């Protein structure tokens, strides 16, 4: 077998295993960073990279579910819900541990409700997800502006700040929190009725309906979950930054979609999973950090980021010939 034949075969086979490619690329990028600067692969920097990834990873958790659910599912209100959640938690708790619990409860409920409204608009009113969540996004941003009068007050209670920046046995709390979330989401997708049906309904919604799946509950519930995960992200983000400002969540809108797609979840729904998104979030964070380490300008970083995404996706979408 010649080298090109072998390369071709590898590409064919690996295109079925996008997760493997993503892991490979993430490791490769880390190695490149290490070659460029030894400090890049030091344990503390790697843990720091993981901690930063965890916020993107959590923001992309809801996105993963929404994309998996099919029907051109996408949630562009993730950024706005994150911003609102950080503001809500900081204003309600006002930097006091004692008020943290009610603040978190209110924030999570509001996040889930906003997601629920998304779901209802999409399922009942048949608004395309892209439009519905984009519209929701600007509504929420407007509400935040009115609520804060442009000047968000308060700060993270000490407990939350510890969760956002502190460590236990040298491991950042953020990573531990993310690991717990990952485990739960993995279990839900793999073993719970909701998760199992989500993949099937995402593949073919009409077939799901005719097989007796309660589509309305499943789809609307998925958008509510996305709102819930965004709220979680917003709360942790507040802990990470300690104070908040307007539209802090905006930086996550498109990266959350990118992490999902780089992780091998098909935008058409029904294929992929959260482990892929975890790898996708790490890959994107490492890439961004690497380019910063190499002192690249804003423009160059943008270009390279884009090129890496496009190359990965073009490999994933190569369909095996027998399918």
Partner 1 sequence: MLTIEGLRKEYGAVVALQGASLTLVPGTIHALLGANGSGKSTLVKMLGGVVRPTKGTIWVDEQRLEVGSPAHAIHKGIAVSYQETSLVPSMSVADNVLLGIEPTGKAGYVAQRSLRERAAEILDQLGLNIPPDVPVGELPTNIQHLLEIGKALVKRPKYMVLDEATAALRREEVKRLFSIVCSLRDEGVAILFVSHRFDEVYAICDRATVLRNGAVVGTRSLSNTSREELIQDMIGRRISLEPVQQKTGTSFKKQAVCLKARSLTNAELRGVDLEVSAGEIVGIGGLQGQGQTALLRALIGATTVRGDLETDGHQGLFRNPSHAAGNGVRFISGDRGREGVFGQRSIYENIVIGRIATFPLWKRASQRGENQAARALVEQLKIVHHSLFQEVRGLSGGNQQKVLFARTLASKPNVVILDDPTKGVDVSTRMEIHRLLRNLAGEGVGLLIASSDDEELAEVCDRVLIMYEGQIVRELTGDLQPSHITKASIEGAQSEKGKGAETRADSL
Give the DSSP letter of residue 171. E
Q: Are strands 171-172 and 167-168 parallel, antiparallel or unpaired?
A: antiparallel
Q: How far is the CB of 197 from partner 1 (least distance, A)?
A: 7
Q: Which of 180, 156, 164, 162 has the alpha carbon at shortest distance from 52? A: 164
What is the C-alpha to C-alpha distance for residues 136 and 219, in angstroms, rounded to an integer?
17
Q: How far is the CB of 269 from partner 1 (least distance, A)?
A: 9
- Among the listed ranges 125-133, 148-156, 209-217, 231-239, the one in contact with partner 1 (CB under 8 A) is 209-217
- Among the listed ranges 72-80, 95-103, 106-114, 206-214, the one in contact with partner 1 (CB under 8 A) is 206-214
- What does the DSSP assignment read for 122-155? HHTS---HHHHHHHHHHHHHHHHHHHHTT-----
What is the C-alpha to C-alpha distance for residues 156 and 235, in angstroms, rounded to an integer?
9
Per CB under 8 A, does 200 bind partner 1? yes
- Measure the N-to-C terminal CA separation of the chain; round to a whole number of Å: 24
Per CB under 8 A, does 196 bind partner 1? yes
β-strand partners of 171: 168
Per CB under 8 A, does 119 bind partner 1? no
Q: Measure CA 3 to chain center.
A: 38
Q: Which of 305, 266, 251 has the alpha carbon at shortest distance from 25? A: 305
Q: How far is the CB of 216 from partner 1 (least distance, A)?
A: 8
Per CB under 8 A, does 71 bind partner 1? no
What is the C-alpha to C-alpha distance for residues 65 and 110, in angstroms, rounded to an integer?
19
| Shorter beta-carbon distance to partner 1: residue 125 or 210 | 210
- Among the listed ranges 61-69, 100-108, 141-149, 216-224, the one in contact with partner 1 (CB under 8 A) is 216-224
Per CB under 8 A, does 6 bind partner 1? no
Per CB under 8 A, does 183 bind partner 1? no
| Count of residues of this chain found to bind partner 1 when the rule CB under 8 A is applied | 29
| Shorter beta-carbon distance to partner 1: residue 150 or 214 | 214
| Shorter beta-carbon distance to partner 1: residue 116 or 215 | 215
- Among the listed ranges 1-9, 56-64, 118-126, 184-192, the one in contact with partner 1 (CB under 8 A) is 184-192
What is the C-alpha to C-alpha distance for residues 227 and 133, in angstroms, rounded to an integer?
11
CA-angle at 304, arms to 174 and 24, nearest 5°: 60
Per CB under 8 A, does 8 bind partner 1? no
Among 119, 208, 239, 273, which residue sits at the site for partner 1 (rule: CB under 8 A)? 208
3-state class (DSSP) for residue 168: strand
Among 24, 158, 271, 313, which residue sits at the site for partner 1 (rule: CB under 8 A)? 271
Per CB under 8 A, does 272 bind partner 1? no
Among 125, 169, 299, 323, which residue sits at the site for partner 1 (rule: CB under 8 A)? 323
- The DSSP element (H or E) to which 172 belongs, if any, is strand 171-172
Q: Which of 227, 208, 213 has the alpha carbon at shortest distance from 61? A: 227
Among 14, 37, 48, 204, which residue sits at the site for partner 1 (rule: CB under 8 A)? 204
Among 194, 243, 293, 315, which residue sits at the site for partner 1 (rule: CB under 8 A)? 194
Per CB under 8 A, does 264 bind partner 1? no
Among 15, 41, 167, 203, which residue sits at the site for partner 1 (rule: CB under 8 A)? 203
What is the C-alpha to C-alpha distance for residues 323 and 77, in angstroms, rounded to an integer?
35
What is the torsion angle, in degrees rounded to the nearest 10, for the CA atoms of residue 36, residue 38, residue 41 and residue 45? -110
Residues that bind partner 1 (CB under 8 A): 190-197, 199-200, 203-204, 206-215, 217-218, 221, 270-271, 322-323
């Amino acid at each position: 077998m010649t080298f090109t034949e072998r390369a071709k075969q590898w590409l064919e086979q690996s295109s079925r295993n996008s997760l493997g490619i993503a892991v490979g690329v993430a490791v490769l990028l880390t190695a490149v960073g290490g070659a460029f600067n030894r400090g890049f692969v030091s344990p503390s920097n790697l843990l720091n990279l993981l901690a930063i990834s965890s916020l993107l990873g959590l923001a992309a958790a809801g996105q993963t579910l929404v994309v998996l659910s099919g029907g051109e599912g996408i949630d562009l209100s993730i950024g706005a819900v994150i911003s609102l959640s950080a503001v809500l938690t900081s204003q309600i708790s006002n930097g006091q541990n004692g008020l943290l619990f009610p603040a978190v409860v209110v924030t999570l409920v509001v996040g889930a409700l906003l997601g629920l409204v998304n779901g209802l608009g999409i399922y009942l009113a048949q608004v395309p997800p892209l439009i519905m969540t984009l519209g929701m996004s600007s509504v929420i941003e407007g509400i935040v502006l009115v609520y804060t009068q442009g000047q968000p007050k308060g700060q993270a209670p000490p407990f939350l700040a510890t969760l956002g920046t502190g460590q236990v046995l040298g491991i950042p709390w953020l990573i531990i929190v993310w690991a717990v979330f990952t485990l739960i989401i993995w279990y839900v997708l793999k073993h719970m009725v909701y998760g199992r049906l989500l993949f099937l309904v995402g593949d073919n919604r009409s077939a799901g309906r005719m097989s007796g799946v309660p589509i309305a509950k499943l789809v609307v519930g998925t958008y509510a979950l996305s709102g819930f995960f965004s709220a979680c992200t917003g709360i942790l983000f507040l802990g990470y930054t300690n104070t908040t400002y307007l539209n802090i969540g905006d930086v996550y809108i498109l990266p959350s979609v990118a992490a999902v797609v780089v992780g091998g979840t098909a935008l058409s729904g029904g294929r992929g999973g959260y482990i892929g998104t975890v790898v996708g979030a790490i890959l994107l964070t490492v890439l961004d950090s690497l380019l910063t380490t190499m002192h690249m300008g804003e423009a160059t970083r943008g270009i390279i980021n884009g090129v890496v995404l496009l190359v990965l996706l073009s490999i994933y979408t190569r369909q095996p010939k027998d399918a």
